[in-house]
Structure 1
Amino acid sequence: MGTFPTSLALAIEKKSRRIEISLYCLARAIESFFTCMVDIGYLPQSTNLKRPDVVIFSLSTAVIMHCYAQEREVFRSKYLNVLDWVFGVPPPPCETPCCKNNSAV
């Protein structure tokens, strides 16, 4: 009940930031949902997996790195600049190893 009025705050937020804030809130809501399900007893608490947040972070980072390497156009320019800084600027398309092999033939 209390989350609905607070979610209305997105209506006054800049449109360019709404998606990022919504995705952040969605991640926290999913985490909270599963924590409540474990506390109630609907889901068994995993004794083998001590830090599920690390697994989720690793999978998310893998998806981001794959998209960065294969589909750079899906990122906004400001995010692409940060990823270029973190991972290093990729070589131009004609300097990749598969392109060099094709041009040598």
Structure 2
Amino acid sequence: MAHYRASDSKREQFRRYLEKAGVIDSLTSVLVALYEKQERPSNALEFVRERLDAVGLNSVQAEALQQEVIELRQKCASLVEENKDLRARLQRYESEDAAGAE
């Protein structure tokens, strides 16, 4: 019987921890949003993940991250183009060296 009470005590401590951290409120709001959707999403787990991510970020943080993604995509595209140019130049020089060696 003592084991049962110890288990209940740990469970209650964990429940209070989750409540204090706001986890229970966040999960509840996400699950309520899922329940209230007219059309159920095909991937409920993805819906929950997206909503939980949105709960953790405020709009300023989300906007800053979106801007960073845009900038990084532009930089990536620029680097891909630079890489193509450098490969073409290298190929041209290697071709000239091969032709000069013959």
TM-score, reference length from structure 1: 0.26
Which has the larger share of helix? 2
User: Comparing both chains, which one has the higher relative contact order based on Cα–Cα distances under 8 Å and sequence gaps of 6 or more?
Assistant: 2
Structure number, greater radius of gyration: 2
TM-score, reference length from structure 2: 0.27
